[in-house]
Chain A
Amino acid sequence: MSPPTTIYFFGTCLIDLIYPKAGLAGMQLIRNAGVRVIYPEKQSCCGQPAFNSGYRDEALRVARAQLACFPEDYPVIVPSGSCAGMIKHHWPELFAGQPDEQRAQAVARRTFELTEFLVDVLDLQLTDLGEPIQVAIHTSCSARREMQVADRIDSLIAHLSNVEVLEHAHKTECCGFGGTFAVKQAEVSGAMVEAKSNALHETGAQRVISQDCGCLMNIGGALEKQKRNLPTQHIAEFLLERTRAAKA
């Protein structure tokens, strides 16, 4: 697919409220590449939290409210493997048999996770202006298995000549976030994030990068509680920082 002239940016509710800079960085990266970025103001959430808790009617209500945000045929870019996966792979399920099923499927078909879009469509060329740094990459389960974009974050970071990637043990294993899982099965989730944060810390990396803020909130929160000096960052913010293309 050749680069579009315009895209919609679906920030995700988590980024909107907790990690807005990650969303902004994603939008700036795309705008800097010469694509017009629309941030529909009516957007809120893809509906996943309710969907994963079994409350499908409530999830549908919220998901449906997003459709009005995407009237034109522009691609929808989502800075989260989990939310992109919800729209792309679960909206067809959620909207099955509904009067707006076709509309939802149309949006699902043109939804991209951010790194997928940056690599596959924009073929983003990056020049690393930063100091040497070692990072560990945690790919979310949704990015890895649902959206299958684990290699996109790898390839974007591989473009950065001063960044060394250190692999952590059990890197394909879940960090334990799982949305409401972290609350409903707090002890197991705690054990999982402990294992993940130990593994990341053991690499000696100076930063943890991910496509998903849910994982970052989980892992970053754990590292903070463990009083370990290992900051976490969303891939969009990291790329922007390294290429210092702060002006947009």
Chain B
Amino acid sequence: MNQQQALHHRIDKALNNPQLRRNFRTAMDGIRERRADQFPDDSKLQALREQARAIRNNALGRQAELLERLEAKLISNGIQVHWAETPEQANALIHKILHTANAHSVVKGKSMVSEETELNDYLEERGIEVIESDLGEYILQMAKEPPSHIVAPAIHKNRFEVADLFREFHPDQPYTDDIDELTGTARRVLREKFANADAGISGVNFAVAETGTLCLVENEGNGRLSTTAPRIHIAITGIEKVVEKLADVPPLLDILTKSATGQPITTYFNMISRPRQPGEKDGPEQVHLVLLDNGRSRIRYDDELLDTLRCIRCGACMNHCPVYVHVGGHAYGTTYPGPIGVVLEPQRLGIDQVGSLTSACSLCGACGEVCPVKIPLPKLINRLRAEAVDAKREADSVPGQGSLRTPGEAMAWKVWSGIYGTPRLYRTFTWLATRLRRLAPSRLKPWTQYRSAPKPAAHSLAELARQEGFDHE
């Protein structure tokens, strides 16, 4: 199966799952409304977006310098810094840290980057127990499924599906499909893990170069527990997450939580700058940061595509995407779904692997409208479509450039441009189409599977214009 077929297969599966479609429709409608409620004043929203964009642009413009400063500051704070170019390197680094410290059990806070590297599988294959502590991620761990959304990973599941999972994996707990009770069950069963895990692994929302501070947002408390209770804390993040100074954090935090979940702020904002200091009674003795590249540095080579790296992983784009609401996150088949996935994944994994994702978009623009850091997502999607069929194949361009070009389609557009680009030919074509309209096909799969076929009119507008006496120059 080629990538287009695989994509269609996943999409079909999603479209034929009425429960999934209902779950996503309800969830997306709710999130959209909650976000809108946080931004009653449009001019304030636009000012905040512009501020956030400028902060992220500034950080990206000086990325190497800021990463070096971040590293220096973290090290002087007592936090160890590691660099990984690939998922394999990142996983190996983390494993080595755990192995050296004789750590056998890990409790994890939510980290999309760790999904990217498939860290859990890697560690489990090497005999390390990994427990996801974020409720949504824990649900998925039981279901053995990947996240379908970058902020609300189990958004595709309803409470009955969750109740069944708890019944299967925790038969000693009383069955319930009441959400409050399910939450209580999760608290009970995960408590012991926090208390006894050897290590905690987390992501990072913002890494502040000025003070060497790792910032995490969360509502549940599992992030704080994972990064405070065990004796080792390992944070993993992408190299684009660095920001210059502490003053950059409040506006980003503000627009992140409002865009992501429609909250003025999350329950906890956790700022970590050091391991446990002498005299302190809790906190990890060792804190590590793993900086992952995995294709991000190469994205910088292109001034236009560089905007991709501004992303603060809020999920607003997929929340508002009319394709995502119908098919959900798994249909994309990549770590990051939705519009940001369509833009990021072909650049990260190659157009030859996942470039057909760029067709899973009607260019409606809803994503670009809500992106808190003003990434021009539709423009970048269109740009990647051009890359996908560009025959030039320059060095250092998007991996897999040109790999979706087919002779058939290329010829079709050539012929089209020949006709439409030559007034005389175009006029002949339209004349023929109108005069031969009765021969127009009424079955034009795939169009006519859902709609009746359009028919050329009896006279073109050009003819009507002449008839009605309009000037033609």
- On A, residues with C-beta under 8 Å from B are 9, 11, 13, 15-21, 23-24, 27-28, 31, 36-45, 49-59, 61-62, 64-65, 93, 141-142, 144-146, 172-174, 176-179, 181-195, 217-218, 220-222, 224-225, 248
B472 x A41 contact (CB < 8 A) = yes
Q: In whole angstroms, how far apart are the Cα atoms of A207 and B454 in the complex?
A: 19
B363 in contact (CB, < 8 A): yes
Binary flags per residue of B432-473, CB closer than 8 Å to A gives 1, else 0: 011000000000011111111111110111111110101111
Does A50 lie within 8 Å of B416, measured CB to CB?
Answer: yes
B421→A21 contact, CB < 8 A: no
Write the nearest CB–CB distance from B24 to chain A, whole angstroms: 11
What's the Cα separation between A184 and B385 when bound, in Å?
13
* Residue in B433, B453, B457, B470 whose CB lies within 8 Å of A39: B470
- CB contact under 8 A between A188 and B11, given known A38-B472, A54-B390, A145-B369: yes
Cα distance A9–B465 when bound, in Å?
A: 10
Given contacts A18-B454, A20-B460, whether A184 and B359 have CB atoms under 8 Å apart is: yes
Closest to B322 in A: A174
- The answer to whether B451 touches A141, judged by C-beta atoms less than 8 angstroms apart, is no
The binding surface of chain B is classed by DSSP as helix
Q: Which of B55-63, B123-131, B148-156, B407-415 contacts the other chain? A: B407-415
**A11: B residues at CB distance < 8 A:** 461-462, 465
Q: Is the CB of B326 within 8 A of A188?
A: yes
**B234 in the interface (beta carbon within 8 A):** no
- Are B422 and A193 in contact (CB-based, < 8 A)? no
**Alpha-carbon gap, A93 to B304, bound state (A):** 11
A55 to chain B: closest residue by CB: B413
A221 in contact with B453 given A59-B417, A185-B359 (CB within 8 Å): yes
Residue B386 interfacial (CB < 8 Å): yes
User: Is there contact, CB below 8 Å, between B460 and A24?
Assistant: no
Q: Mark B307-334, 1 if CB is under 8 A from A, else 0.
A: 0000000000000001101110000000
0/1 interface trace, chain B 372-414, chain A, CB 8 Å (1 if under)? 0000000100100111111000000000000010000110011
Starting from the known contacts A44-B421, A49-B416, 7 additional A-B residue pairs (CB-CB under 8 Å) come to: A41-B473, A44-B426, A146-B365, A183-B446, A188-B323, A188-B360, A190-B446
User: What is the minimal beta-carbon distance from B331 to any residue of chain A, in angstroms?
Assistant: 9
| Closest Cβ–Cβ distance, residue B55 to chain A (whole Å) | 24
Please determine whether A145 and B472 come into contact, CB atoms closer than 8 angstroms: no
Q: Which 7 A-B pairs have the closest CB atoms?
A: A178-B362, A221-B451, A186-B446, A54-B385, A58-B417, A174-B364, A190-B450
* A-B residue pairs in contact (CB < 8 Å), sample of 11: A20-B457, A23-B465, A24-B464, A38-B471, A50-B416, A52-B363, A145-B364, A178-B361, A181-B361, A192-B322, A193-B450
Cross-chain contact A53 with B471 (CB below 8 angstroms): no
In the complex with contacts A27-B470, A28-B468, A55-B410, A141-B366 CB distance below 8 A: yes
Interface assignment of B83: CB less than 8 Å from any CB of chain A? no
Q: Of A42, A45, A193, which is within 8 A of B451 by CB?
A: A193
Closest residue of B by beta carbon distance from A18: B454
Q: Does B420 interact with chain A (Cβ within 8 Å)?
A: yes
A187 to B460, Cβ gap below 8 A?
A: no
Instruction: Give the residue of B413, B448, B466 whose beta carbon is less than 8 angstroms from that of A58.
Output: B413
Tell me the nearest residue of chain A to B362, going by C-beta: A178
Query: What B residues does A19 contact at CB under 8 A?
Result: 457
Q: Which of B322, B386, B454, B468 contacts A217 (CB 8 A)?
A: B454
Whether B420 and A13, one on each chain, are in contact in the complex, defined by CB atoms closer than 8 angstroms, is yes
Closest residue to A26 on the B side, CB-wise?
B461
Give the distance to chain A from B382, nearest Cβ to Cβ, in Å: 6
Does B8 reach chain A (CB closer than 8 Å)? yes
A38, B447: Cβ atoms closer than 8 Å? no
Is the pair A182, B447 in contact by a Cβ cutoff of 8 Å?
A: yes
B4 → A minimal CB distance (Å): 9
Q: Which chain A residue lies CB-closest to B472?
A: A41
Report B-chain residues with C-beta under 8 Å of the C-beta of A145. 364-366, 368-369
- Please give me the residue from chain B that is nearest to A54 by CB atom: B385
Q: Looking across the interface, which residue of chain B has its beta carbon closest to that of A50? A: B413
The answer, yes or no, to whether B211 is at the interface (CB within 8 Å) is: no
**B15 interface residue (CB < 8 Å to A):** yes
Report Cα–Cα, A15/B463, bound state, in Å: 12
Given contacts A17-B460, A21-B457, A39-B471, contact A58 B446 (CB under 8 A): no
A61 near B417: Cβ-Cβ < 8 Å: yes
State which of A24, A38, A51, A194 has its C-beta within 8 Å of the C-beta of B382: A51
Q: Least Cβ distance of B142 to chain A in Å?
A: 30
| Interface presence of B12 (CB below 8 A) | yes
Q: Enumerate chain B residues within 8 angstroms of A222, measured Cβ to Cβ.
A: 450-451
**Distance (Å) between the CB of B15 and the closest chain A CB?**
6
- Cβ of B176 under 8 Å from chain A: no
The CA of A187 and the CA of B7, in the complex, are separated in Å by: 11
Contact (Cβ within 8 A) A195 B461: no
B421 touches A191 (CB 8 A): no
B421→A188 contact, CB < 8 A: no
Chain A residues positioned under 8 Å from B184 (CB to CB): none
Separation of A155 and B374 alpha carbons in the complex (Å) = 29
CA distance A170 to B430 in the complex (A): 36
Q: Does B423 contact A (CB under 8 A)?
A: yes
Chain B residue, CB-CB nearest to A192: B322
Q: How far is the CA of A61 from the CA of B417 in the complex (A)?
A: 7
Would you give the shortest CB distance from B428 to chain A, in whole angstroms? 11
* B447 partner, pick from A53, A54, A183, beta carbons under 8 A: A183
Given contact pairs A53-B385, A62-B421, A224-B451, A38 touches B473 in the complex (Cβ within 8 A): yes
Complex contact A42–B423 (CB within 8 A): yes
| Minimum distance in angstroms from A181 CB to a CB of chain B | 4
Look across to chain A and name the residue whose beta carbon is closest to the beta carbon of B304: A93
Contacts known (A24-B465, A50-B417, A222-B450); A17 close to B326, Cβ less than 8 A: no
Q: Chain B nearest CB: distance from A25 CB in Å?
A: 10
Give the residues in chain B near A42, CB-CB below 8 Å.
423
Q: Is the CB of A38 within 8 A of B421?
A: no
- Chain A residues whose CB sits within 8 angstroms of the CB of B454 once the complex forms: 18, 217, 221
